[in-house]
Structure 1
């Protein structure tokens, strides 16, 4: 199998996916980073800022800035931990919850567009493959590869 073009294909998919998400979220004034964070938050309501950084594979400072921006826009709120006051937990606001269906459907519309013309079995195989690859990437010890 020829792997030479794989990085190019991944790059195209990544850049065009980001561009689509940014365009689709313009009416809500939500950036790509904010989109990724709020989608993770829908699935992990009440997560700590530190744990969110781990979920997103980004620096804690990036998460803090993104949360601050989403707070200013009224989509999320931070709550000090009850047991450990140093921990800040993140929750969606009513405004954030009102946008959940729209935001979740952004990626669905993109995948529907990308997979147009493919049979449903092929789409399922590709999605399972991406899931498998992301799991491998998540657990990879980069120093050993």
Structure 2
């Protein structure tokens, strides 16, 4: 019997631990691991719409909508109807979001240091490049599968 690689298992473990880390670190802001990604994107790209936001992380529009709704309820983002197309809602981070974004960026850096502890700079770069390739492979596969349906 051949050895089975368990890369997916370790990706899953990392994701769950990542979620726990962000949930704990951002608890005082009433923001969970599910919203922090969206808040950072909205902050970096003010005025983006829901479809653009969803596509950044390969989420469906419903997931992005729920995250934005939660962020709106907490006062971290506001949405405005587009001027040229009334169906488009533009999303902006509020002033209240600034300390949350700052803390989240701090968490991003700390988490990277935690999971890459003991790695050389070359190994850190290599790990990132491999994960990018894996994500692209998975994305391409899903696009290919959708075309076959």
TM-score, normalised via structure 2 length: 0.86
1-structure distance, mates of 2:54, 2:138: 16
Once the two structures are superposed, residues 76-116 of structure 1 have per-residue CA deviations (whole angstroms, 9 ceiling, x without a partner) of: 00011010011001110011123322111212101101111
1-structure distance, mates of 2:139, 2:5: 22
Structure 1: segments with no counterpart, 5+ residues: none
2-structure distance, mates of 1:108, 1:8: 24
Deviation at 1:46, TM superposition (A): 1.1
Q: State which drifts further: 52-61 or 19-28.
A: 52-61
- Partner residue in 1 for 2:101: 100
2-structure distance, mates of 1:118, 1:53: 32
TM-score, normalised via structure 1 length: 0.88
2-structure distance, mates of 1:139, 1:38: 26
2-structure distance, mates of 1:27, 1:39: 17
- Partner residue in 2 for 1:123: 124
RMSD, matched Cα: 2.1
Alignment of 1:30-69 (within 5 A): 30-69=31-70
Aligned residues: 145
Deviation at 1:136, TM superposition (A): 3.1
Once the two structures are superposed, residues 30-82 of structure 1 have per-residue CA deviations (whole angstroms, 9 ceiling, x without a partner) of: 01111111122223221111221222322322222211111111100001101
1-structure distance, mates of 2:136, 2:5: 22
2-structure distance, mates of 1:13, 1:129: 15
Deviation at 1:142, TM superposition (A): 4.4
Deviation at 1:124, TM superposition (A): 1.5
Structure 2: segments with no counterpart, 5+ residues: none
- Partner residue in 2 for 1:77: 78
Q: State which drifts further: 42-51 or 70-79.
A: 42-51
Deviation above 6 Å: which 4+ runs of structure 1? none
- Partner residue in 2 for 1:7: 8
